[in-house]
A and B are shown apart, each in its own frame.
Chain A
Amino acid sequence: QVQLVQSGAEVKKPGASVKISCKASGNTLTRFAIHWMRQAPGESLEWMGWINTGNGLTAYSHRFTGRVTITRDASANTFYMSLNTLRSDDTAIYYCARDSASYLFDLWGQGTLVTVSS
């Protein structure tokens, strides 16, 4: 049974960067992709990007181009999402999710709250 376990909450100042991890426990995910989404307080979900767990290829939402980077440590079955030049409106819960069939998110991490405040 695969689980996605994310790193803990972060508090950052405007202009800083944050890096969140998502570790897959159980079976490996080499046949899947990992996507990152976020959810601002009281808002809907927003797709940010994804990484191919096998070859490391990535794609990002145009809304975050230049600010977001998704990486992997294949040996540790761990995936990372970095967001730089943080603003107050980046305050949100960030989720990783497994893609089992072309943008079908069948397994989610528990979420990581990122608070951006001066």
Chain B
Amino acid sequence: QSVLTQPPSVSGAPGQRVTISCTGSSSNIGAGYDVHWYQQRPGTAPKLLIYGNNDRPSGVPDRFSGSKSGASASLAITGLQAEDEADYYCQSYDNSLTGSGVFGGGTKLTVL
């Protein structure tokens, strides 16, 4: 059971907009810690997609954007493309117990 909650799957047609939610609690996102998002294509390592809630690393298209409010965060993808089909994970820091990195359960994006 992941600490952060994501929908297992989302889908959209090419060109559409989709959003993926990430819900945490008062010991992680709600405590003010940043949320980061990773994209993972099959058979490859995760790749940083959004950091610090809403910033994009160099090379990530501006079709990808992030937001955060309270104990939740969202990833939005506009102008959906076939190459966006992948698993997406949110991640933050949790200050309970020994303190740790925590991930969402992952969301499988299917481009119809």
Contacts and interface: CB of A to CB of B under 8 A. Distances in A.
Q: How large is the interface on B (under 10, 10 to 19, 20 to 34, 35 or more residues)?
A: 20 to 34
Interface string B18-56: 000000000000000110101000000111100110000
A69 B41 CA distance: 29
B64 interface: no
B36 A104 contact: yes
B38 A104 contact: no
Contacts of B48: 104-107
Contacts of A45: 38, 46, 89, 91, 103, 106
A108 interface: yes
Contacts of B66: none
A95 B45 contact: yes
A44 B106 contact: yes
B91 A105 contact: yes
A104 B45 contact: no
A32 interface: no
A47 B101 CA distance: 6
B99 A104 contact: no
